[in-house]
Each structure stands twice: as C-alpha cells, then as structure tokens.
Amino acid sequence: MKKLLIIVLCVLGFQAQAQSDQVLLEHYRAYYNQMKLQGDTQGIVNGLTHLVILSPTESKALKDTLAMVYMSESNHVQALNTIGIDANQTDSDIAVEVKAVSLKGLNEPHRALIHFEELFKRTPDPSIAYELAELYLQTNNLEKSNTYIEYGLTNSKDTMGKSFYESQQPYQVKLKAAFLYLKALTKYNENKETNFDAALALLDDAIKMSPNFRLADISKQALINQKSESKVKE
C-alpha cells in the first residue's frame, strides 16, 4: 500500500510538472507573438530563448529563427553561438544564410564562402552570386569572382537592386550596375598596368546605369588619382 501511494504521488507530480511546463509554453508563445506585433527585438529574443528551452521538439527551428533575429541586428557572434558555424547538409536554408552572412560580417570570408556556395547550390540567384563574386574578389580568387560576375550580369533583371552602406545615408543601385562595379575591380586587379582603361570604362558603365552609385564614383576617382600619381613619379 505504501509503495502504491509513492507511485501515485510520483505520477501526480509528473502530471503537475507537465501541466506547469505546458502553461509556460503557452505563455511564452503568446509573449513571443506579442513582441513580434510590437516590433520589440529584445522581447522576441527573450521569447524565443524560453521557447527553445521549453520545447525541445521544436528547438532546431526555433534556434534557426533566433539566430536569424540576432543576424538581422548584426549580432553575428550571438547568431553563430546559437547554431554553430559548421556546414551541415541537414541545415535549413535559414541556418545556411545566417552562417554565411554572419561569418562575412565577422570578416571570415573563406568560411563564409562555404555557406554562400551552399546557398547558391540550393537556389541559384543573382543576389547570392554577388556575395560570392565579392568574397572571391576579396580573397583574390579572380577566376571564381569572374564566374559569378558573368552569371549575375546575365541573370540580373532591371528590377533587382543592391544596397550600399559605405556612406551615412544608405542607397540602392541596380544589381547589374553593382556587378559592373565588381567586374571593373576584378579587371583592374588582373593587371593593374594594362587594364586601367578597361576598368575605368566599366565603372563609367556602372555609373551611367545608376547615377547615384557613389562607391563606383569614388573608385573611379581613386583610379584616376592613382594614374596621375604614377605619371608624376615617371
């Protein structure tokens, strides 16, 4: 009889705990949804973190979402701490994107390339091609950079844009103009002595396509100044 009483008490205890966990789960789901409605980023993070703990069966998808929120706020270290940096075939598209963007944001181009390549393999897209072309240019793999530049120039539509943030006021240009800008830089880096005019012409084309393209204009002026300095030294 005593053993039976202990068993009954244990069962009741487990049931009470399960009910308590369910109440908490429902509370934090409602809390999370309310924070989304209010646009409260910290509240969203808090809600998702509690849901990850309270709902192990959904934790992978919830962690991906939490990492995406961190990434969108440029909290790249927190994003990667949430889901890791290793490449896994079972990763969701969200997880792959978070790893790619966050590693790029942390100035880890070689690691970022692995995940951008995976993104492009899953969904070939000019915007992803731009990221790949830029990173390959940054790592001095000009051949691979050119491959993605040509893909982008061929597949970009006039309605597609690319945002730039090098100035205090962000701005957007046509994606095709952005690819022309990258092509100019790649061309110049292939041979700085012989490809000056070709690079300058490509920058002019990019500016003509998007007259507000300040970064292309800055690069053009830098090339002109560099050539002028070289002539003076001669």
- Does 141 fall in a domain? yes
- What is the per-residue pLDDT across 39-76, written as a single tens digit (0 to 9) for each? 999 999 999 999 998 888 888 999 999 999 999 999 99
Rounding to the nearest 10 degrees, give the CA dihedral for residues 136, 139, 143, 148.
10
State yes or no: pLDDT of 2 exceeds 80: no
Assess if residue 186 is contained within a domain: yes
Within 10 A of 27 (CB to CB), how many other CB atoms are there?
A: 13
Confidence label for 191 from pLDDT (cuts 50, 70 and 90): very high
Q: Is residue 171 part of a domain?
A: yes
Direct distance between the N- and C-terminal alpha carbons of the chain, in angstroms, rounded to an integer: 104
Domain of residue 139: give its range.
124-233
Yes or no: say if 175 and 130 are a contact pair by the CB < 8 Å rule.
yes
Q: Which amino acid is at 2?
A: K
pLDDT-derived band at 23 (thresholds 50, 70, 90) equals confident
Which has more pLDDT, 15 or 172?
Answer: 172
User: For the segment 77-130, what is each residue's pLDDT rounded down to a tens digit?
Assistant: 999 999 999 999 999 999 999 999 999 999 999 999 999 999 999 999 999 999
Q: How many domains, in total, are found in the chain?
A: 1
CATH number at residue 154: 1.25.40.10
Q: Global pTM?
A: 0.85
- Residue 130 domain-assigned? yes
